[in-house]
């Protein structure tokens, strides 16, 4: 079985001290920091004191720039700076920069070292772990890429102070997902917590442990790692629906996944995999943080039709991750169109 190399994850205020040590220990010929305009403004000032000599490559922010054109520009700048194989690339940003910076590093000169300094809640609790790298292509998310781990990850939740609420919530949805698929204890903590920023460093740490424990058994997503897609089959269908119907207020990934988790929990309940009390707890936790999406009964068939585009489907069958009690899940469950539509009706009824 192919495995990916191990790497250390440093969490806490002192994590940037470890970065200094890491750079000193590895005798790099040069260090390049990759930023976008927001992380350059808000996060780079916190980082630069930890570095002595380095260059910065700055790209435009957002999913729309996670593509090969931006990679070309980064490769060009690395080349213009004379970066050799002993250069370190530091990805200072959210999931977009972690995925794209890692991809650029693995392909430049057949591979230079890279580390992630995630700066969004989503990248801290999810994207910086597991080695998925890549960019969007022809309008399809993450169509070009590879699995390759960073040399290390450095997490300081102080970066989150400047993050917008909507991006904060996107990350929170993934933390809820980690609890639902793998930890009833974490789920109880989330239920008890007052607001979503409470104890965020502990939640990030717990989330990373859960994701690491899943990906280390299935680094290339042949089986168990698919669990991390819970809520995403219907979530992605909702996202596509709002992209197509662009006269409506757009929804963010986390909001769509949050609604998807409610719907997919309903299917889990319908199949007797979770109790009605569990379904109600899940729905009320999610609705505490995520307002209901603006969809109507007439939209449901269109949203359900989008599920057929899901990457997890095989042989024309819609394969879902369903819960098996809170904290456990079942992968590759074949789901019918009727179940999908009824689950969305349940969501609407809340
Ligand atoms: N590799 C994986 O396993 C994995 C997992 C989940 C998601 N992803 C990918 O992650 C991406 C989404 O990541 P994201 O939600 O972090 O989006 P993002 O990287 O686009 O960041 C969101 C926005 O916040 C800004 N920002 C980042 N840090 C900030 C800070 N500290 N203060 C103020 N603004 C800040 C960014 O400039 C951007 O505008 C998607 O492309 C998705 O495919 C990857």
Specify the 3-state DSSP secondary structure of 90.
strand
pLDDT of residue 2: 61
What residue's CA is closest to ligand 1, atom 7?
A: 127
Whose alpha carbon is nearest atom 3 of ligand 1? 127
- How much is the pLDDT for 308? 80
| Cα-to-centroid distance, 165 and ligand 1 (Å) | 13
Output the CA 269–ligand 1 centroid distance in Å: 32
- Compute the distance from residue 280 Cα to the ligand 1 centre, in Å: 30
Q: Tell which one of 42, 66, 94, 229 to mutate to probe ligand 1, the residue whose CB is within 8 A of the most ligand atoms.
A: 94
Alpha helices in the chain (DSSP H): 15-26, 37-42, 44-47, 68-80, 95-107, 121-122, 165-182, 184-192, 200-215, 232-244, 253-270, 276-289, 300-306, 337-349
Q: Considering only CA atoms, which residue is closest to atom 42 of ligand 1?
A: 95
Percent of the chain with pLDDT over 90: 84
Q: Which residues on neighbouring strands pair with residue 9, listed in sequence order?
A: 153
C-alpha–C-alpha distance, residues 242 and 1, integer Å: 40
Mutating to test ligand 1, I would choose from 47, 122, 144, 218 the residue with most ligand atoms within 8 A of its C-beta, which is 122
Predicted model pTM? 0.94
What whole-number distance in Å separates Cα of residue 181 and Cα of residue 201? 20
- Which of 7, 35, 37, 38 for mutating ligand 1's site (highest number of atoms within 8 Å of CB)? 38
159 lines ligand 1 (CB under 6 A): yes
pLDDT on residue 214 = 96
State the SS3 of 288-319: HHCCCCCCCHHHHHHHHHHHHHCCCCECCECE
Q: Is the CB of 66 under 6 A from ligand 1?
A: yes
The CA distance from 191 to 57, in Å, is 41
| Residue 142, ligand 1, Cβ within 6 A | yes
Q: Whose CA is nearest to atom 30 of ligand 1?
A: 163
Indicate if ligand 1 lies below 6 Å from the C-beta of 143: no
Question: What is the structure's pLDDT at 250?
Answer: 81
Atom of ligand 1 nearest to the CA of 142: 43
Per-residue pLDDT at 67: 96
Alpha carbons 284 and 128: distance in angstroms, whole number? 29
Query: Is the distance from the beta carbon of residue 62 to the nearest atom of ligand 1 less than 6 Å?
Result: yes
- Output the residue whose Cα is nearest ligand 1's atom 19: 94
Does ligand 1 have an atom closer than 6 angstroms to the CB of 120?
yes
Residue 239 Cβ contacting ligand 1 at under 6 Å = no
- The list of the chain residues with pLDDT below 70 reads 1-3, 313
CB 103 within 8 A of CB 145: yes
């Amino acid at each position: 079985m192919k495995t990916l190399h191990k790497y250390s994850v440093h969490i806490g205020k002192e994590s940037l001290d470890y970065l200094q040590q890491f750079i000193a220990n590895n005798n790099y010929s040069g260090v390049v920091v990759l930023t976008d305009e927001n992380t350059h403004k808000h996060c780079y000032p916190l980082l630069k004191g930890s570095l002595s000599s380095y260059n910065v490559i700055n790209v435009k922010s957002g999913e729309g720039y996670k593509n090969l054109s931006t990679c070309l520009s980064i490769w060009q700048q690395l080349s213009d700076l004379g970066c050799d194989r002993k250069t370190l690339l530091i990805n200072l940003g959210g999931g977009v920069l972690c995925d794209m910076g890692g991809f650029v590093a693995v392909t430049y000169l057949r591979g230079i070292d890279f580390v992630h300094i995630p700066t969004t809640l989503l990248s801290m609790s999810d994207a910086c772990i597991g080695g998925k790298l890549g960019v969007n292509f022809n309008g399809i998310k993450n169509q070009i890429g590879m699995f390759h781990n960073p040399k290390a990850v450095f997490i300081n939740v102080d970066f989150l102070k400047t993050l917008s609420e909507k991006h904060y919530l996107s990350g929170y949805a993934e933390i809820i997902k980690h609890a639902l698929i793998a930890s009833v204890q974490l789920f109880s903590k989330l239920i008890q917590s007052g607001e979503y920023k409470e104890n965020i460093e502990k939640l990030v740490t717990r989330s990373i442990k859960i994701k690491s424990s899943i990906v280390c058994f299935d680094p290339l997503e042949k089986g168990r790692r698919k669990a991390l897609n819970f809520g995403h089959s219907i979530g992605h269908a909702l996202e596509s629906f709002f992209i197509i119907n662009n006269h409506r207020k757009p929804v963010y990934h986390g909001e769509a996944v949050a609604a998807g988790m409610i719907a997919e929990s309903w299917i889990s309940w319908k199949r007797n995999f979770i109790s009605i009390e569990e379904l109600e707890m899940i729905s009320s936790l999610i609705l505490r943080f995520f307002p209901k999406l603006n969809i109507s009964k007439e939209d449901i068939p269109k949203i359900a039709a989008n599920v057929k585009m899901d990457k997890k489907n095989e042989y024309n069958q819609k394969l879902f991750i369903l819960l098996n009690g809170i904290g456990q899940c079942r992968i590759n469950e074949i789901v019918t169109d009727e179940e999908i539509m009824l689950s969305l009706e349940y969501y609407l009824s809340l």
